Structure 1
Amino acid sequence: MTPTPTDDPTGFSGLALRTELLDALAALGYEEPTPIQREAIPPLLEGYDLLGQAATGTGKTAAFALPILQRLPQGNRGPEPTALVLAPTRELAIQVSEAVHRYGRVLGARVLPIYGGQPIGRQIRALERGVDVVVATPGRALDHMSRGTISLGSLQMVVLDEADEMLDMGFAEDIEAILQETPEDRQTVLFSATLPRRINTIAQRHLTDPVRTQVKEETTAPGEAPLVRQSAYMVPRAHKPAALGRVLDVEAPKAAIVFCRTREEVDVLTETMNGRGYRAEALHGGMSQEQRDRVMGRLRSGTAELLIATDVAARGLDVEQLTHVVNYNVPSASDTYVHRIGRIGRAGREGVAITLVEPREHRMLKTIARATKSRIPIEKVPTIADMQSRRLELTRAALHESLLEDEGSLEHVRVVVETLADEFDVMDVALAAVKLAHEAGGPAADEEEIPEITVRPEREQRGRREAPGRSGGRGRPSSGGMTRLFVGAGRSARIRPQDLVGAIAGESALRGRDIGAIEIADRFSLVEVPESAADEVIAALKGSTIKGKKAVVRRDAR
């Protein structure tokens, strides 16, 4: 089907959204649709089914959330949900739910995430009070269906978000079972980062003459890439401000621009970085031209060293002093990435491009690296020890500079040293002076260690998993940074590796790629998970089922 095109492809106002949603988007600081939003929203508003190829970070949540909210009636609404969004992990279900709530708050939208690891009684009570949109992991959705605590008879739209990830985690049968209980005349939306044969099979079975849309990637011609050192840091969302501060402390840019998605994010991050001691300025579409001119003047004069901006506000800016570009989030498309880093590395000078990547955005970063034919290595976020060493080096450099100055500038403090030298060794006096100078710089702005996230290549990750029929020995030690869990169910219970991956990823914050080797014996299984997440996984699985049965889960004793 070919949907009706919009008259204005540049702004949300051209997408025929209701006024309340446009006001909500403006308040949140969204200035223009991303490519996937521009392509997906019009056909969804017209009622077409849609098959979209879009990775995390492209704005696909709003692409389906806004059409869901568009059709919510005014006034009192019934207790049964009109939209169901299926997501592969608890983390994604929460994020989608929060996004739908933000967009639909002005409409009084009732949004409920349901996932494992949360008391089911609380979810049941919320369903009884009435909801408009349910965002669920497949396993917990089936649990509510079997209990009769959720009704799908009034659904108008079903969304399969990150469908390829759900299939990789073994949720294919669950998805089929859920879709069979939904109305035949529902609107069905499927988003997937890749479109393997299995995804197309689901689309052919459950989507009716769908509109197909894809975020197209552009490549950079040979020789056109700027002289830029590119790197990325894998960081949990909650630790991104601290990670940005540490990376900038180490890089010490002369002038840097940090790209954010929304005005709200720009304002919050600007305040945070100023609190850390940076001279940061905000730049977004909500500012007047006079304000923009003042900000740029401070950056060009060196009064400000950090510009935090949205893409729209930064268009047309050409700042010669820029040495660093930071993507606070993975860009939604490779051409955006190329355009951003093109602001540095000019005239033979090397620039630095840094990207902060949430674990679930890793696939999008790899897509950008392939499309731009770039190498974007994943670096380790500086630790507290790294930052202490860095500050100590700065102290040494400051003392060295002071010693190189005119000797007369130190004469007024000579009496202090001579007096102390009568009582203490001169080396001890120097050590104490350096210690005081170092501590005068202040403690680290964030004394909490940032969790390290290790990303293994996907091919290696798949290779580490054992086949269902292989029992493996229990004496083999766990991999570095991983711990092994004992699960009291095995081949006799028809447990497969994908069942264990789906249960863990569906009930905890881990993703499928975080899970290591899986060994399945007749009556038990052994699963490697990151040591830092072991207790969370054990707690989550104790309150859930695997293949419909409870199973003992604990750390492996051997």
Structure 2
Amino acid sequence: MSFKKFSFTKQIMKNIELLGYQQPTKIQDQAIGPILKGRDVLGLAHTGTGKTAAFMLPIIEGLATKNRNGVPKALILSPTRELAEQTGNCAKSLTRQLSINTTIVYGGAKRHSQVSKLQRGSDIVVACPGRLLDLLNTREIDLSEIELLVLDEADQMLDQGFLPDVKRIVKRLPETTQNLVFSATMPHDVKELCGGLLNNPVQISLNHSQPLDTISHTLLNVERMAKNEVLKSLLNQDEMESVIIFTRTKHKARSLAHKLSKSGFKATSLQGNMSQNQRDFALNGFRRGHFKILVATDIAARGIDIATISHVVNFDMPGSLEAYTHRTGRTGRANQCGQAITLVTDDDSKMVEMLNQKLASKLSHESPPQYTVGNHERLTALPAESEEGKQRSMTTKDNAPKLSRKKRGKRSSQRNRAVAFDFGI
């Protein structure tokens, strides 16, 4: 199986090779053909499965073989600025030497710069709904010639309240537009949107409701007051190379990153109260390894596509199975192995039960590593398990991540100690 079967133009094939793509992923193999044929598509797949290239390659192939006049022909809607940037950068990489122009549009950045790029001519527009509507209302963007619309991460877009904006944008597009919807989960509002938007779509479902097979899942039962110390013990393990920690609120993300940086960890936060420059600095620093730890909220972390993330730690339990899937999907990407660790307190029993049902043998229950309170070492024990729970733990023991009980040593402390930034304070 190779990209040759799609008969892409010569330059597109060169660009594919330059990016190191050797063969199509499952979503690419199933989606590219129908998109090239002009079919509407509903793609249900996790992030990190190659879905961006699955829709971008046929878009570029279509543009490369037709005359262009500088008026946008393809529109991709993204729920976050980070995802819009990454999608736009993917388009730019795949359009090398093709004279196909891409403009990225989102709030929090200079409007004048975006408008200037549109005025110079754009073939592909990647946008967040809010800023795009602003430009539509002031007639600074022309969508009258859009031939293809992509709703990327549709579930998260609707979860953030963008449904009214999306509907307004769709009404401004030609009725003949080819529509593609990609989503990691399929809640009711996404089904409803697809029913009114897609015309006899090709449906592609790659086990979207289950977390990726490349991720191991562990629950650590801890006392609420011990979560900070347990987290530090986890982060001192050598295998914790690049970690995203999830919290429920923006305030906690900022506060926890600040505490970790004061403890000598190279940590920063990513949350909604930061300016675009601060967000870019934090995310680029994490991507380049300047920061080893990124503390984030669910919304802020959407669109993060970094293949080297080794661990996801749920400092706070997510509120739903869909949120758990999205969070843990930050690791184990591009067929890399990843580990998801969730700190569990007595208040989380309902979600623990749901995770047990969903993940079954993929989920292990373990005791947390040794940690220090004052001058005393402590080890939080698991509560008594049922026979079924014991059997599940025994079944998954071999697949569970090793959680060493090593105390933080002097060398580890020196390695992690660095100037860390906590934006938003």
Tell me which interval the TM-score lies in, with the shorter structure as reference length.
Answer: 0.5 to 0.7
Give the corresponding residue for 1:460. none
Instruction: Confirm or deny: 8 A CA contact 2:47 2:329 kept in the other structure.
Output: no
Q: Which moved more, 1:186-195 or 1:12-21?
A: 12-21
Give the corresponding residue for 2:60. 69
Give the corresponding residue for 2:173. 182
Q: Distance in 1 between matches of 2:141 and 2:32?
A: 28
The Cα shift of 1:181 comes to: 0.9
Q: Which amino acid aligns with 2:244?
A: M
Instruction: Confirm or deny: 8 A CA contact 2:72 2:122 kept in the other structure.
Output: yes
Instruction: Confirm or deny: 8 A CA contact 2:47 2:184 kept in the other structure.
Output: yes
Q: Which amino acid aligns with 1:108?
A: S
Task: Indicate whether 1:169 and 2:160 are aligned.
Answer: yes
The Cα shift of 1:28 comes to: 1.2
Deviations 1:47-67 (A, max 9, x none): 100011122222111111111
Task: Indicate whether 1:36 and 2:54 are aligned.
Answer: no
Give the corresponding residue for 1:392. 410
SS at match of 1:71: helix
Q: Which amino acid aligns with 2:410?
A: L
Task: Indicate whether 1:448 and 2:422 are aligned.
Answer: no
Task: Indicate whether 1:13 and 2:31 are aligned.
Answer: no
Task: Indicate whether 1:331 and 2:332 are aligned.
Answer: yes
Structure 2 unpaired stretches of 5+: 220-233, 235-239, 246-269, 271-282, 294-304, 310-327, 342-353, 370-406
The Cα shift of 1:134 comes to: 0.5
| C-alpha distance 227-146 of structure 1, shift in aligned 2 (>3 A) | closer
| C-alpha distance 52-368 of structure 1, shift in aligned 2 (>3 A) | farther
SS at match of 1:106: coil
| C-alpha distance 162-218 of structure 1, shift in aligned 2 (>3 A) | closer
SS at match of 2:126: strand
CA RMSD of aligned residues (A): 4.3
Q: Distance in 1 between matches of 2:85 and 2:159?
A: 20
Give the corresponding residue for 1:156. 147
Q: Distance in 1 between matches of 2:134 and 2:361?
A: 45
Give the corresponding residue for 1:242. 289
The Cα shift of 1:45 comes to: 0.8
Instruction: Confirm or deny: 8 A CA contact 1:219 1:373 kept in the other structure.
Output: no
Count of aligned positions? 289
SS at match of 2:95: helix
Give the corresponding residue for 1:374. 362
Structure 1 unpaired stretches of 5+: 1-9, 247-260, 270-326, 341-352, 357-365, 381-388, 395-437, 452-531, 536-558
Task: Indicate whether 1:119 and 2:110 are aligned.
Answer: yes
| C-alpha distance 144-245 of structure 1, shift in aligned 2 (>3 A) | closer
Q: How does 1:5-154 map to 2 (within 5 A)?
A: 10-73=1-64, 77-154=68-145
Q: Distance in 2 between matches of 1:227 and 1:174?
A: 37
Q: Distance in 1 between matches of 2:42 and 2:133?
A: 24
| C-alpha distance 73-171 of structure 1, shift in aligned 2 (>3 A) | same
The Cα shift of 1:161 comes to: 0.8
Q: Distance in 1 between matches of 2:13 and 2:39?
A: 22
Instruction: Confirm or deny: 8 A CA contact 1:369 1:375 kept in the other structure.
Output: no
Q: Distance in 2 between matches of 1:445 and 1:105?
A: 39
Query: Identity over aligned residues, as a percent?
Result: 31
Normalised to the residue count of structure 2, the TM-score between the two structures is 0.58
Normalised to the residue count of structure 1, the TM-score between the two structures is 0.45
The Cα shift of 1:229 comes to: 7.4
The Cα shift of 1:87 comes to: 0.8
- Which is higher, the Rg of structure 1 or of structure 2? 1
The Cα shift of 1:94 comes to: 1.1
The Cα shift of 1:201 comes to: 1.8
Q: Distance in 2 between matches of 1:369 and 1:30?
A: 36
Q: How does 1:537-552 map to 2 (within 5 A)?
A: none
Q: Distance in 1 between matches of 2:147 and 2:198?
A: 13
Q: Distance in 2 between matches of 1:145 and 1:103?
A: 27
Task: Indicate whether 1:192 and 2:196 are aligned.
Answer: no
Q: Which amino acid aligns with 2:180?
A: V
Instruction: Confirm or deny: 8 A CA contact 2:216 2:339 kept in the other structure.
Output: no
Instruction: Confirm or deny: 8 A CA contact 1:101 1:111 kept in the other structure.
Output: yes
Q: Distance in 1 between matches of 2:421 and 2:339?
A: 17
The Cα shift of 1:91 comes to: 1.5
| C-alpha distance 94-217 of structure 1, shift in aligned 2 (>3 A) | closer
Instruction: Confirm or deny: 8 A CA contact 1:54 1:193 kept in the other structure.
Output: yes
| C-alpha distance 46-171 of structure 1, shift in aligned 2 (>3 A) | same
Give the corresponding residue for 2:394. none
Q: Distance in 2 between matches of 1:36 and 1:70?
A: 17
